[in-house]
Each structure stands twice: as structure tokens, then as C-alpha cells.
Structure 1
């Protein structure tokens, strides 16, 4: 059996045009976990040498910030192009367009060896840059006034060139996996769901409502033998049943958190909505006890058809039961009719 060829993520990125490459970088930057206030794409005419800006404060370009300079060329990024961008950055600072960034990161699919060597030797590179600056014919410098050119030189002399660095594409892709955008761009076959959460011994406040609904179910069926959590824990059937339902609730909760961290918003809610569609129809049927209604919904949830999304393949039978309790937690379903519990 033959399968269609699937290019690697790296090959896909290498095929991006400049605009799409900048969008990819904008998605990746938050994965650096620097606590940025905002990440903004500014590439285009009049960008003053900023492609993707990551702000470390609410002051934006007037406060501390990092610049991610995106260079998507057919050939590897070389020193000549990088030096031109650095000159543009210094000129932008002198002209008051922004403060000097804390970090200036060159982002490119490939770097020429001389550029990598230069960025690895910041002091030597500053000397080289200043020598070239004195004789450059770059319009971004030549159109400045004499005073402004002097200020550019002074700023470069005062700058620690270790602020300039390249980023490795393999590292970028690995970090991009932690963003919700990964699945929208690349094959997701290698993603694994984390281990299922274990219910804490003490009931959490966030599970109060569905547990309350279960207490009502037990009280309705077993009366005073199981109408409090303490009595339920001692009851031969209700106690074991409650433990299983809590395990299911936390299984679904672990799925919810996995979906929140790994995928765009809405995937877990799609599972909730699919199960709810079936659950409310079953709930509307006539049942003698809330216990019977609960069992009917849990059974129906096990066979509910789920909308096919990237999350569907991770949904387990225990999650479906847990989703029912998430619905009960939100009062989207109710097990006992009003006044049914003793």
C-alpha cells in the first residue's frame, strides 16, 4: 500500500512566502514564554525594520521590547543583508521611531556560515560593523543629517552586539508545537495526550455542582442511607459509584486542559455540545428516579457521534462519562426532577 508523500514541517516552512513566514514567526514568539504583553506583526512598507515586535511592557515600542527580523529568501541569510537591517534599526532609534530593542533576533530558514560566525563573536562584529558604517552607501544612513549619522555611530559604539542572534529552525518548530497553531499548519500524528488527572481526596470547589447533583440522585434512591457525602462514602454502591464518576469527571477535565493548551479554542466545547445534544433528549424522557435518568444518559453518551476534529481521536469512553458530569456541573442537564430527593 502506498501513502501520499507528506513534506516535513521544516520543508513546509521553507516553502512559505515572506508574508506567511512572518505569520508563522508571530505564532511562534509567544512560545518563548518571556511573558510578553503583546506580540505584533509590523512587516510591510514603512515598518522601519520591524517585522514582528514582542512588547515586554504596556509601553510598546517606547518601552522594553524584542525585535524578530524575518528573512525568507531562496538563499541563506548573509552578513551583508543582516548588517543592512542592523543599520536600519540604529537609524530608527535615532529618528525616534522606537527605543533600542533588548533582543534583535534574525529569523530565517537558513543562515550563511559567515553570518553565524559573526553573530557568535559580538565584540569583533561590532568593530566590523562600525568600520563598514563609516563608509557605507546605504541610503538609510546617507539620507541622515551629519548629526544624526554621528548619533548612529555613537549608539552602535555603546551597544553590546550580543543582542543580535540567529534562531535555529529545528528549535523554532519544536517550540511551535506547544502553540494552538501547530495543528493548523502541520500533521499532528506525533502529538500525545498527557496522563489522566487523578481526583484529589478532597472535593474541589469546581466540581461542587455535579457532585451535589449526584448526592441528590443517591438520596432519592437510598433515602437517609446515602444523603450526605459521609454516608455515601460508607455506602456499598453509592460510594463506589461516586468514585467512578469523579474519575470520569477528571478524565474529561484532563482532556479539556489538553485541548486548551494544544489546539485552537472550541475543540472540547464541540465534544461537550455533541454529547449534550443526545443527553438532553434522554433527560426529557420519563424516568421514575434520577438514578435511572443518569444511567440512561451515560449509556447514550457512550454511543454519541462526535464531530470529527483533531481532538476526537483522543476521546476515551471515560471522557464521555466525564463530559456528562461537566454538563451537570454547568446545569445543562439535571438528573433529579425538582423535589425528587428525599
Structure 2
């Protein structure tokens, strides 16, 4: 294998295009298309974007998408290490055709990857996947399950001049010699159903296919000893109780001497942990910043009540919590799964970030 491996920057790289905050999709009139049916009507570019998202759910060191005429036979690459094309990597070749893939669709792609591997442009990938929304035809599918038969068929069409440059026998002979030593079991495929099942772990899945979010699990119970991340909103609540009840307590244990304040604090901690359970459960199920967008909208919904003059911090707290229950949002997908206690808990998250302050 001759020649140095190229730097990844030498290839045309297309960065991922995040779909953005998950928003509520208006109910469509008429029948709903299943995710698999939606894949059929994608453009070739949309299909590559989907495969890129799918590959990013796999445990690679890095996933890159390459595009244009100079992709050197690689649409999507998953790299096991910083060595990139010089180390272990997997190739995902995207083919969005109206029919299932046939052997005649595969030969040029196999030739291309063997050609660049033989020349030293990159190492031969560990696996090479044909990615097609309509899958493979029976003939190609069975060939992939019989690597020896696949190799023999490829060498035959190569010898007949049906693949590769028609007027360059030297190159075809060189590729034939390289193919003889290559392991054709690297050539594989995945069904649309398999792709969609794995894609469910992508935070883009809900946005891309407008599917319902799963219900969150029961909220975590507050621990006996407060967690470090509770410090700020608890300090604010101790201030509220000092003003309202005349307590001097600055800990949950000290507050136990005042039953009414202690019971109130227990409820507020439960609300906070409801919101934390909600945040943690959904953070990998929606695009980045979706939960933060929800917090922003809650803040927007309660800030006028918060900023009004109140007789006490306790009154401000209670009125803000009550106002949170009246918020009627329409644009964030998480509103389809949040509950009343989550809204109150978000108010304490905002207090934890000093965006709400009960005693002024």
C-alpha cells in the first residue's frame, strides 16, 4: 500500500446540521406517514443527513459526513480513533434510489473503495455499509451473506470491463489483484427498520419524525441530605421562612423544629426533583437547548407576577408558583409531557439560577 494517509481536512467535510429546538408540530389533516414511509420520500441529501444523525448515536471517536464529487467513495465515516482514515473506521454509503439496490448498483461503489484503499489514500474500512431506504434486492442481499460469491461476481464483472475505467486495463488489473486479497465480508447493509430503531436514541428523532415523546419515569425522591446543586434555591427558601415564620434555620435539620415551614420545604424539594427528573430524562431525547427553551418560556410567563410588589417573599413565591400553573405554551414539544409539579419545579430551578428571587 503506497503513499501517506491524507489529512481529514483534505476531504470536503460537511458539518452536521442540527434541527434545532424541538417544537410542537401542528396536527396534520389526513393519515400520518410512519417514519419508515417518510424515509421513502426523502431527497438524497436528506437521506445522508438522516444517516449522519444515525451514525452519531454509535460509539465512535468521531463521525464525519463528506459530500460532493470529491468524496472518494465515502459519504459518512465513523472513526474509532484520532487516527482517522489511517486507523480503524467504518464507511456508510448512502443510496436513495426508488428501488431496492441491485448488484449493478454495488459494483461501482466496491470498485471505488478498493481503488482508494489500494492507492493508500485510506486504509480499507473495517466495514462498508450500503444504506438504502428500500434496502437491497434479493440477489445483492444474498451475495453480501456469501462474501466469497460476492468477490467472485465482482472479479468477473471487473474482468469483463463492466466496472472501472473502460480504457485502463492496468488499473483494473491492479484492483483485481488487490480484490483477491481483500476480505469481502466487510460489505454489509442495514434495514430501514434497524436504522430507525437505533435512531430513536438520537435527540433529533422526535423532531425529524414528529413522534410522541415517552412518558417520564416517577420523579426521584429528594435525598435526606440536600445535593450541592440545591444550595441556592434552598438558601432562598430559608430566607422566606425567616421572614414569614421568624425562623433562624439554615438547614433542613434545623427547620424540623418548625413543622409548618418544614412541611412546606418538603413540598418545594419534591417539585424541584420532579423538574430535575424531567430535565435529565428528556435531555437526550430532544435537541440541545429544548429544555432551556422551556425554562425561558416559564420565566417569561411568571416574571410580571414575580416583579410586582408583594407583602412578603412567601407571597411572591406562592403567587409565582400559582402563575406557573396558568402558563399555556404552544411551541415547545416538552409541553406534551410535562405536569403541574414539573412547572413548579422549574420555578425553583430558575431560583437556583438567580433568575427568580423571593425575598427582595
TM-score range, shorter chain: 0.7 to 0.9
CA deviations over 1:223-279 (Å, ceiling 9, x no partner): 346443212245312222222212211211222234421122232222211221243
Q: Distance in 2 between matches of 1:227 and 1:250?
A: 20
User: Aligned partners of 1:192 and 1:203: how far apart in 2?
Assistant: 29
* 1:86 paired residue among 88, 91, 110: 110
Q: 1:84 to 1:120 in 2, by over 3 A?
A: same
Residues 176 and 141 from structure 1, CA distance in 2 versus in 1: closer, same or farther, beyond 3 angstroms?
farther
- Residue 290 (structure 2) aligns with: 267
- Preserved CA contact (<8 Å) 1:248 1:321: yes
Structure 1 position 141, deviation (Å): 8.1
Q: CA shift at 1:117, angstroms?
A: 0.9
**Which structure has more helix as a fraction of its residues?**
1
Give yes or no for the alignment of 1:46 onto 2:75: no
Partner of 1:195: 217
Unaligned runs of 5+ in 1: 338-342
Aligned residues: 331
Q: Which residue, 31, 47, 50 being the options, matches 1:5? A: 31
Q: Does 1:125 align with 2:150?
A: yes
Moved over 4 A (4+): 148-151
CA–CA distance in 2 between the matches of 1:65 and 1:59?
Answer: 9
Distance in 1 between the 2:166 and 2:84 partners? 25
After TM superposition, give the deviation of residue 48 of structure 1 in Å: 1.7
Q: In 1, Cα distance between the equivalents of 2:287 and 2:182?
A: 40
Q: SS at 2:124's partner residue?
A: coil
- Alpha-carbon displacement from aligned partner over 1:145-184 (angstroms, at most 9, x marks no partner): x3x5555344333332222111011111122222222233
Post-superposition shift, 1:318?
Answer: 0.5
> Residue 41 of structure 1 contacts residue 51 of structure 1 at CA under 8 Å; is this kept in 2?
yes
Matched, 1:16 2:38: no
Report what 1:243 is aligned to. Answer: 266
1:100 counterpart (107, 112, 124): 124
Cα distance between partner residues in 2 of 1:123 and 1:201: 64
Name 2:85's counterpart in structure 1.
Answer: 61
Partner of 2:255: 232
CA distance in 1, matches of 2:264, 2:167: 79
- Contact 1:180–1:262 (CA under 8 A) maintained in structure 2: yes
TM-score, normalised to structure 1's length?
0.88
Native 8 Å contact 2:294 2:332 kept in 1: no
How far did 1:49 drift?
1.2
Q: Hey, what's the Cα distance between the residues in 1 that align with 2:350 and 2:308? A: 17
Matching residue of 2:333: 310
CA separation of 1:232 and 1:150: change in aligned 2, threshold 3 A: farther
What TM-score do the two structures reach when normalised by structure 2? Answer: 0.84
Q: Which has the higher contact order (CA 8 A, sep 6+)?
A: 2
**Structure 1 residue 14, shift from structure 2 partner:** 1.0
Q: Deviations over 1:100-133 (max 9, x none)?
A: 1111111112211111111112233334434444
Secondary structure of the structure 2 residue equivalent to 1:39: strand
Could you report, residue by residue, the CA deviation over 1:24-71 in whole angstroms, capped at 9, with x for unpaired residues? 11111112x22x233222133122211112222223323322110111
The CA RMSD over aligned residues, in Å, is 2.3
